[in-house]
Amino acid sequence: MKKLMRKMNNFATGQIVKMQMALNNNRGDGYIDTAVKILIAVVLGALLLAGLYALFGDVVMPTLTNKIKGMFNYAG
Protein backbone atom coordinates (compact mmCIF):
# COMPACT_ATOMS: atom_id res chain seq x y z
CA MET A 1 0.00 0.00 0.00
CA LYS A 2 2.85 2.32 0.89
CA LYS A 3 4.47 1.60 -2.49
CA LEU A 4 1.24 2.44 -4.33
CA MET A 5 0.81 5.72 -2.47
CA ARG A 6 4.42 6.69 -3.18
CA LYS A 7 3.94 5.85 -6.87
CA MET A 8 0.75 7.93 -7.08
CA ASN A 9 2.44 10.83 -5.31
CA ASN A 10 5.39 10.73 -7.72
CA PHE A 11 3.05 10.60 -10.72
CA ALA A 12 0.99 13.57 -9.47
CA THR A 13 4.14 15.58 -8.72
CA GLY A 14 5.50 14.86 -12.19
CA GLN A 15 2.24 15.97 -13.81
CA ILE A 16 2.23 19.19 -11.80
CA VAL A 17 5.80 19.95 -12.84
CA LYS A 18 4.93 19.31 -16.51
CA MET A 19 1.93 21.61 -16.25
CA GLN A 20 3.98 24.39 -14.66
CA MET A 21 6.65 24.09 -17.34
CA ALA A 22 4.00 24.27 -20.08
CA LEU A 23 2.40 27.36 -18.54
CA ASN A 24 5.73 29.13 -18.09
CA ASN A 25 6.85 28.32 -21.64
CA ASN A 26 7.18 31.47 -23.71
CA ARG A 27 8.99 30.08 -26.75
CA GLY A 28 7.69 30.25 -30.27
CA ASP A 29 6.81 32.68 -32.98
CA GLY A 30 4.77 35.64 -31.89
CA TYR A 31 1.75 37.01 -33.71
CA ILE A 32 3.50 40.30 -34.47
CA ASP A 33 6.45 38.56 -36.13
CA THR A 34 4.11 36.58 -38.36
CA ALA A 35 2.10 39.68 -39.25
CA VAL A 36 5.26 41.56 -40.24
CA LYS A 37 6.40 38.66 -42.44
CA ILE A 38 3.03 38.53 -44.18
CA LEU A 39 3.00 42.30 -44.67
CA ILE A 40 6.48 42.25 -46.22
CA ALA A 41 5.46 39.44 -48.57
CA VAL A 42 2.33 41.31 -49.68
CA VAL A 43 4.24 44.55 -50.32
CA LEU A 44 6.98 42.79 -52.29
CA GLY A 45 4.37 40.90 -54.32
CA ALA A 46 2.53 44.12 -55.13
CA LEU A 47 5.75 45.81 -56.24
CA LEU A 48 6.65 42.86 -58.44
CA LEU A 49 3.19 42.79 -59.97
CA ALA A 50 3.27 46.54 -60.64
CA GLY A 51 6.69 46.23 -62.28
CA LEU A 52 5.55 43.40 -64.53
CA TYR A 53 2.38 45.27 -65.45
CA ALA A 54 4.40 48.37 -66.39
CA LEU A 55 6.87 46.28 -68.39
CA PHE A 56 4.17 44.46 -70.35
CA GLY A 57 2.12 47.61 -70.88
CA ASP A 58 4.93 49.86 -72.15
CA VAL A 59 7.47 47.52 -73.76
CA VAL A 60 6.09 44.11 -74.66
CA MET A 61 2.56 44.84 -75.88
CA PRO A 62 3.36 47.65 -78.39
CA THR A 63 6.20 45.61 -79.87
CA LEU A 64 4.01 42.54 -80.09
CA THR A 65 1.20 44.51 -81.74
CA ASN A 66 3.59 45.93 -84.37
CA LYS A 67 5.01 42.48 -85.16
CA ILE A 68 1.54 40.94 -85.51
CA LYS A 69 0.44 43.75 -87.83
CA GLY A 70 3.62 43.25 -89.88
CA MET A 71 2.94 39.50 -90.24
CA PHE A 72 -0.59 40.07 -91.53
CA ASN A 73 0.27 42.98 -93.80
CA TYR A 74 -0.46 41.38 -97.19
CA ALA A 75 -0.44 44.66 -99.11
CA GLY A 76 3.26 44.82 -99.20
The domain locations on the chain are: 2-71
pLDDT confidence band for 56 (50 / 70 / 90): confident
**CB atoms closer than 10 angstroms to residue 49:** 10
pLDDT of residue 39: 96
Amino acid, single-letter form, for residue 29 = D
The top-scoring range by mean pLDDT among 26-30, 42-46, 49-53 is 42-46
DSSP letter assigned to residue 64:
H
pLDDT in tens, 5-16: 899 889 999 999
Looking at every residue in the chain, the average pLDDT score rounds to 86
Distance of CA 64 to the CA centre of its chain: 36
Percent of the chain at pLDDT exceeding 90 = 33
The b-or-e profile of 13-28 (16+ CB within 10 A means b, else e) is: eeeeeeeeeeeeeeee
29 has pLDDT over 70: no
- Of the pLDDT bands very low, low, confident and very high (cuts 50, 70, 90), residue 26 is confident
